[in-house]
Amino acid sequence: MGRLTIVGLGPAGPELITPQTQAAIAAADQVWLRTARHPAAVGIDAGSFDAVYEAADTFEDVYAEIAARLIADVASRDEYSVVYAVPGSPLVLERTVELLRAEAEAGRLVVDVLPAVSFLDTVWARLGLDPVEAGVRLIDGHAFATAAAGQTGPLLVAHTHANHVLSDIKLAIDEPPARAVLLQRLGLPDEAIVEVEWSDIDRAVDADHLTSLFIPELTEPVAHEFARFDELVRLLREQCPWDREQTHASLRRHLLEETHEVLEALDARSVIDDDLDAPDLDEHLVEELGDLLYQIFFHARLGAERGSFTIADVARGIHDKLVVRHPHVFGDVEATDAASVLPIWNAAKAQEKKRESAMDGIPAALPGLTLAAKVQKRARSAGFDWEGGVEVAYADVEAELGEVRNDPSEHEVGDLLFAAVQVARRLDVDPEDAIRGAVRRFTSRFRLVEALAGDAAALETADERQLAEWWSQAKTHEALAD
């Protein structure tokens, strides 16, 4: 089995490379540098993986490719000494080292990791603080929004190699500190330590691969609002008599009501272009989404009280599920348009759920038209569909209408509605949206009819001719308004 020695080049020049690392490099048959763009790499006879950075789309792709190449190189050579050298310490924020150590834990590689001076040592020296006493948390700048969630300062943020990374960090904090410290090229002749206002962290310097950010005090953590909301739900559950009595079952109707209110707010918002500014409509949508969010947090709180799951499990679960179901984003599957995504999604879902039938997993509690449309689409995705397009659907409606005339039962009316959903599906129209639109139009016209009638008594006693005239006037008014 191949053996790989991983060493660190320290945070600055060659003078910070340990004697043990120097000896390992001198004795190696092959030395690989993660990057030659490091002050201590000068004079080391080694190959580098800088070309991988140029070819890959993401840093995760870079790290995976480097690890794969090292594993292949070590495996191809018997009794051959290979050294892999990384900037700083191999045990601080080195994703490639994590991947290689995972291979070692799985028994596919032998890895020796030599200790090294980290960039952290120079940071603490320049800032003049003890990180343990100060309680400093080290955060990866590439994942700041998630890695810093729930944290308060002080924070040291590494991997801030570009100004756009600093911009993302700046935007991730709702209540930022007044000032922060940018540290660059510590231990080198051109090192710089710049204290700046928070609003200038992405403008004060040209960030490079030897740049880090120190936040002396972060009073409001990232994701603070979600943490605060979760605490509020816990408090209400503990102290409000109504909240204390609720169960998953009793909350069911509230969840349904809040969902429909969100749909109503979305319908109101969709009347105008989604890209247009509509503060009142957006404010209403935000309110209704908040009510729905409360229901989700409430159910998670009930789970937490049982010790079965928390809101973190809910978020983690949907995060991981979406990653698995998007291999065209996170894997090597290709999808060129929205239509090509659906088979990928369905295949990943079927494999994940281990379903025996295309009909498995369809929620029976869906609204009837939505349920019918989903059943038909599932059948089509399984290869069950009639040829002939929408004309076949038209004929089916006519046939079912004849059945209703002969037998006006719930059974036959249901078949007629199911056939009408098939027409909507063939025309790529959402039947639920279509019926809601029809209801809205009817409601609007009926209100105009009431206005034309003048009072309820006149409407109740009007004959069919008068009703038809009022209805025609209402439709004309509606058309002119449109």
The mean per-residue pLDDT over the stretch 96-110 comes to 90
Residue 36 within any structural domain of the chain: yes
Same domain, 268 and 190: no
Tell me whether strands 155-158 and 211-215 are parallel, antiparallel or unpaired: antiparallel
- Of 117, 147, 178, which closes a domain? 117
Cβ density class 25-46: b for 16+ within 10 Å, e for less? beebebbbbbbeebbbbeebeb
Same domain, 50 and 101: yes
End-to-end CA distance of the chain: give it in Å, rounded. Answer: 76
Same domain, 10 and 102: yes
> 29-64, pLDDT tens digit by residue?
899 999 998 999 988 989 999 999 888 888 889 999
The mean per-residue pLDDT over the stretch 153-175 comes to 88
CATH number, domain containing residue 259: 1.10.287.1080
Residue 198 within any structural domain of the chain: yes
Query: Residue 482 pLDDT more than 80?
Result: no
Cβ density class 229-251: b for 16+ within 10 Å, e for less? ebeebeebbeeeeeeeebeeeee
Same domain, 62 and 145: no
pLDDT of residue 274: 66
Between 367 and 251, name the one with better pLDDT.
Answer: 251
Total domains present in the chain: 5
Residue 347 within any structural domain of the chain: no
The mean per-residue pLDDT over the stretch 227-249 comes to 90
Same domain, 194 and 211: yes
309 in Cβ contact with 300 (< 8 Å): yes
Confidence of residue 207 (pLDDT cuts 50, 70, 90): very high
Residue 317 within any structural domain of the chain: no
Confidence of residue 107 (pLDDT cuts 50, 70, 90): confident
pLDDT of residue 236: 92
Residues 6+ apart with CB under 8 A from 364: 371
Distances from the Cα of 416 to the Cα of 5, 84, 150, 404, 421, angstroms: 72, 70, 54, 8, 9
Q: Which 8-state DSSP code applies to residue 298?
A: H
Same domain, 101 and 52: yes
Same domain, 292 and 245: yes
Sign of CA dihedral 383, 387, 390, 396: negative
- Of 98, 117, 136, which closes a domain? 117
Structure tokens at 303: 């789970």
pLDDT of residue 421: 92
9 in Cβ contact with 38 (< 8 Å): yes
Residue 340 within any structural domain of the chain: no
Helices 431-453, 410-426: axis angle to 10 degrees equals 110
> 80-95, pLDDT tens digit by residue?
789 999 999 999 989 9
Same domain, 269 and 370: no
User: Which among 122, 138, 286, 143 has a CA at the least distance from the CA of 188?
Assistant: 122
Residue 233 within any structural domain of the chain: yes
- Of 166, 196, 215, which closes a domain? 215
Same domain, 175 and 256: no
Output the average pLDDT for the chain. 88
Same domain, 209 and 252: no
Residue 337 within any structural domain of the chain: no
> 393-403, pLDDT tens digit by residue?
899 999 999 99
198 in Cβ contact with 170 (< 8 Å): yes
Numbers of helices and strands, H then E, in the chain: 21, 10
Residue 34 within any structural domain of the chain: yes
213 in Cβ contact with 169 (< 8 Å): yes
Confidence of residue 184 (pLDDT cuts 50, 70, 90): very high
CATH number, domain containing residue 71: 3.40.1010.10
Tell me whether strands 179-184 and 192-197 are parallel, antiparallel or unpaired: antiparallel
Least confident of 180-189, 259-268, 287-296: 259-268
pLDDT of residue 376: 87
Same domain, 21 and 73: yes
Domain of residue 396, residue span: 355-429
Q: Give the Cα separation of 108 and 68 in Å (integer).
A: 12
Same domain, 130 and 208: yes
Mapping DSSP to helix (H, G, I), strand (E, B) and coil, where does residue 412 land?
A: helix
Between 271 and 462, name the one with better pLDDT.
Answer: 462
Q: Give the Cα separation of 186 and 13 in Å (integer).
A: 10
The mean per-residue pLDDT over the stretch 299-308 comes to 90
